[in-house]
Chain A
Amino acid sequence: MRDRMGRVTSTGIVYGVLVFTIIVGTILTATEGRNFFATGNIAAILTFTSTLGLIAVGQTMVILVGSLDLSVPYVVSLCSVIAGSVMAGETGSIVPGVMIALAVAAGIGAVNGLVVSLLGVHGFIATLGMGLIISGYMTANYKGTSGSAPEPFRVIDTANIGPIPLSAIIMLACAVLAILMLRKTRVGHHMYAVGGDREVARLSGIRTAVPVVVAHTLCSLLAGLAGLLLLARLSVGNPTIGSQGDYDLMSIAAVVLGGTLLAGGKGNILGTLGGVAIFAVMDQVMSVIEVPSFLQDVFRGLVIVLAVAVYARREIERRPAPFERPTALDAALQEAR
């Protein structure tokens, strides 16, 4: 999604920041006498990206159509307990477990999308409500962990292809499919259109509900997939695993960090993946050098706010200033490009 205008795109900035984070991370890790690029360290980072990445890819599409999905952590938990309960340790039940869990996730997403597009409820509220409903259902029906994943299913978490965990490959495959969909299908193009200006899309003959429902359905489906990965990792279904991961706000943060406009209509998956990777590297480095957990949150918060401030600044400089001598900050930004 390059502009070909000689300017660095926001995706470019994200990956610049990622490289910077990795350099700082390498140095900090080295002060602890450890190697950032050690196989174990990289594998831990990639494993982190797999779950958050899946959810953030879905969240990107939802944000692109101008909505939000706050129900993702509950969908993650629900899928992990449903699949866990259906499988109940039986290898033969893997396929039905996966199918049922994903069907439930897709159904939840479709309902979210229909409520947003047809009833005109903002995604924030619609999915907040959906999250509460799922949360209430789980509290009533699942006390503590439930079910268990059979050994062959747990291979998804433990297997590696070369040095790369299988779970990360699953996530990247989904991301590639999502990128292709956004760039190469009509519904993908229409997601940008509906998020950019609903009325323009409508006047161009687009049924504006379709992209919204598709985005929400895919987002929930990907959250369900993340729930299955967590089931494979923990080997039991856990009704609070999604909330523990803060996947709602973390995924929105990764999307925004990746340069997608929170109002919709502009952004891309590649940026989101960069945003997820930045969080993954930060998390791993901070746990290696044993930063207290409250400070970890402070750092995450700083990164998110700073990133959005940088984007806001870029939006402001809409017209060139032919007579201005560049300020020190402009010069530095120029240098950074």
Chain B
Amino acid sequence: MYGQPSTSAEDSTEGCEPCHSGRVHETDDGRPLLRVSGVSKSFVGFRVLDDVSLELRAGQVLGIVGENGAGKSTLMKILAGVYQADEGTIELDGSEVAFSHPVQAQQAGLSTVFQEFNLLPERTIAENIYLGREPRRRGLVDTGQMNRDTEALLAELGVTGLRPNRRVRSLSVAEQQVVEIAKAVGYDARIIQMDEPTAALAEHEVDLLHAIIDKLTKSGVGILYVSHRLKEIFELCDAITILKDGAQVATKPADDLDEAELVRLMVGRSISSFFPDPLPGTEPGDAALELKGAGNGYVDAVDLTLRGGEIVGISGLQGSGRTELLEAMFGVRPLTRGEMLLAGKAVTPGSPREAIRSGIAMITEDRKATGLALSQSIIDNVLGVVRSVFPRRTGTARRQLPGLISSLEISARGMDQEVRFLSGGNQQKVVLGRWLAIEPSVVLMDEPTRGIDVGAKHSIYELMRALAAQGVAVLMVSSELPELIGMSDRILVMRDGRLAGELPGGSDEEAVMQIATGVVDAVSNSGDVA
């Protein structure tokens, strides 16, 4: 059970840098906590998981990587009891189990933190963690006990300062993630599966999550960890299982792999071409978009110049005003101060519609909620913006559609397939198509590769380079520093709603973080910014 002290010898790993050895704790008799043997699963005749086997020991972190569609989610859902395997066996502590409902898995000590938050925003932290098993005294829910238990649970995870009676709605994404994990741990979980737990977190919040995972493994919990962030896979995991097209490519100790090798195994492509170079002939042109002393309720005193053919990255911590700056330019939260110029002409969009009319596109952070009409077809999605904002250009756009769609390399059954059945990467390509159809001069991107697999990321990067080559100005917000550094010609760093500094592309992560966290308050290239 989680929370009981593990053997004291294990505490020697305290203070040790993320290391791959010495994590496997001999708290058991050598029997793995979880053994999956030859598990297969088909949906309507299509084999999505083919003969996958793996073992997880107490205190171990097993990374599961693979492109989207490789079968990671299916595997997790089978283990969680959402789906049932067609073939193969699952053993927990040596005895075979077959879960037909997620609750059975939880009660057996296998909890899952799904990618979508499973929390009730209007209820308190404690009410969420103890949902369905509220402590009772004389038949009535004992709120005091529930709050005390929650506090103790959070303290065990090393989290203090979260009052159990706060509503989940008022929490940051990272704090909600902590509540999710506490909920999983609260079931006395011995195995916790995490699906992309850091997809929505900024880098410094990831550290908090990793500290929690360290605490869990030290007490003998085994963790199955799915992530697209390869760096953290190496930091956290003892062993890595690589899936491709539903089949198991390899399971190796993390020490025997490096990032290049891992990417090669996942996609059969080497990492050197991961961030594509600018296409030949890409030249920064005239200023496409300028802000002069721009501000509203969320950002202040922003001066920037974005030239056609440029890819400019925006970095900053969560809450630094990154998204809000894009939203201001796109008219979601219109600017109230200063000036905005588009190709030299003063334009201050008061609504997204006005922004789109003047040639601005915005790829939002949350493609499912604000990027796509999930129950409409690929064609209807791609033509959606053109139809509503430029109805007269619909005919032309429709004729150009086949070319556009083939350049996006969307893999789907057909162009009339509903978007919600596509993988995250393909959905994101549809989002891009939707905006390319209006032939924008400025494209704002908010976390353009969040939660999509390596292969799809690569295609998105190539599309960004192609846009730049056509003279389009691209402004990209991202929490993933390697992506910002690898793709941007310049990096603007935001802090507290203002531009805190500018760095050339290819700067190191350290420099970006120092400005973002306020360690360094340098504004380099100040002539360019002002």
A201 engages B298 (CB within 8 Å)? no
Partner of B141, one of A185, A196, A200, A323: A185
A206-B122 contact given A3-B167, A324-B296, CB 8 Å threshold: no
How many chain A residues touch the partner (CB < 8 A)?
29
Partner of B131, one of A3, A183, A204, A324: A204
A 195-223 to B, binary, CB cutoff 8 A, 1 in contact else 0: 01101110111100000000000000000
A206 engages B132 (CB within 8 Å)? yes
Partner of B295, one of A3, A196, A323: A323
B134 at interface by CB-CB < 8 Å: yes
B123 engages A193 (CB within 8 Å)? yes
Question: Which A residues are CB-close (under 8 A) to B102?
Answer: 203, 205
Shortest distance between the CB of B327 and any CB in chain A (Å) = 11
A184 at interface by CB-CB < 8 Å: yes
A206 engages B170 (CB within 8 Å)? no
Q: Which of B120-162 contact A (CB under 8 A)?
A: 120-123, 127, 131-134, 136, 139-141, 143
B53 at interface by CB-CB < 8 Å: no
A186-B141 contact given A204-B131, A205-B132, A323-B295, CB 8 Å threshold: yes
| Consensus secondary structure, chain B interface | loop
B497 engages A323 (CB within 8 Å)? yes
B193 at interface by CB-CB < 8 Å: no
Question: Which B residues are CB-close (under 8 A) to A265?
Answer: 120, 122
A323-B132 contact given A189-B127, A196-B120, A200-B119, CB 8 Å threshold: no
Chain B contact residues (Cβ within 8 angstroms of A): what range? Answer: 20 to 34
In the assembly, what is the distance between CA of A321 and CA of B497, in Å? 10
In the assembly, what is the distance between CA of A199 and CA of B133, in Å? 16
Question: Which A residues are CB-close (under 8 A) to B89?
Answer: none
A205 engages B297 (CB within 8 Å)? no
Residue of A nearest to B106 (CB): A205
B300 engages A186 (CB within 8 Å)? no
A313 at interface by CB-CB < 8 Å: no
Question: Which A residues are CB-close (under 8 A) to B412?
Answer: none
Query: Interface centre among A193, A196, A204, by most B CB within 10 Å?
Result: A204
Partner of A190, one of B132, B136, B296, B299: B132
Query: Interface centre among A3, A203, A319, A321, by most B CB within 10 Å?
Result: A203
Q: Which residues of A are in contact with B by a Cβ distance under 8 Å?
A: 3-5, 183-186, 188-190, 192-193, 196-197, 199-201, 203-206, 261, 265-266, 319, 321-324
| A–B pairs, 23, beta carbons within 8 Å | A4-B165, A5-B170, A184-B140, A186-B134, A188-B141, A189-B131, A190-B132, A192-B120, A193-B131, A193-B132, A196-B123, A200-B119, A200-B120, A201-B131, A201-B132, A204-B131, A205-B107, A261-B122, A319-B298, A322-B298, A323-B296, A324-B297, A324-B298
Q: Which residues of B are in contact with A by a Cβ distance under 8 Å?
A: 102-103, 106-107, 118-123, 127, 131-134, 136, 139-141, 143, 165, 167, 170, 295-300, 336, 496-497
